[in-house]
A = this chain, B = another copy of it.
Amino acid sequence: MAKNSLRIGILGASGYTGAELVRLLACHPQAEIALLTANRKAGARYADVFPHLAGLDLPDLTALDAVEWPGVELDVVFCALPHGTTQEVVAGLLHANRPDVLDEVMHESQGALAAAIPGAPRVIDLSADFRLFDTAAYAEWYGHAHQAPALQQEAVYGLTELAREAIKEARLVANPGCYPTCAILPLAPLLAAQQIEPADIIIDAKSGVTGAGRGAKEQNLFSEVSEGVHAYGVAQHRHMPEIEQVLSLAAGQQITVNFTPHLMPMSRGILSSIYVRMTPGVSADDLRQTLIERYADEPFVRVVARGVSPATRHVRGSNHCLVGVFADRVPGRAIILSVIDNLVKGASGQAVQNMNVMFGLEETSGLGQQPMFP
| Chain A residues close to B by CB (< 8 Å) | 16, 19, 22-23, 26-27, 47, 50-56, 199, 202, 204, 206, 208-210, 214-218, 220-232, 234-235, 240, 256-258, 260, 262, 264-269, 271, 273, 275, 302, 304-305, 308-318, 320, 326-331, 333, 335, 337, 339, 368-374
Contacts and interface: CB of A to CB of B under 8 A. Distances in A.
A32 to B, nearest CB: 16
A15 to B, nearest CB: 11
Contact of A228 (B215, B316, B335): B316
A372 to B, nearest CB: 5
A273 B260 contact: yes
23 contacts: A16-B223, A19-B373, A27-B369, A52-B315, A53-B370, A204-B273, A204-B275, A206-B262, A215-B218, A221-B221, A222-B265, A226-B265, A227-B316, A228-B269, A230-B309, A230-B339, A235-B326, A235-B329, A262-B271, A264-B265, A265-B265, A317-B372, A369-B369
B228 A311 contact: yes
A328 B55 CA distance: 27
Given A206-B262, A224-B313, 17 more contacts: A27-B368, A51-B310, A51-B314, A54-B314, A210-B374, A214-B218, A214-B221, A220-B223, A221-B221, A226-B266, A227-B267, A227-B374, A230-B271, A230-B337, A234-B326, A235-B329, A260-B275
Copies in the complex: 4
In terms of DSSP, what is the predominant structure of the interface of chain A? loop
B240 A329 contact: yes
Contacts of A312: 228-230
A181 B22 CA distance: 28
Contact of A209 (B51, B56, B221): B221
Contacts of A50: 373
Contact of A373 (B52, B240, B369): B52
Given A235-B328, A302-B54, A304-B54, A224 B374 contact: yes
Contacts of A51: 304, 308, 310-311, 314
Counting chain B CB atoms within 10 Å of each CB, the highest count among A268, A311, A333 belongs to A311
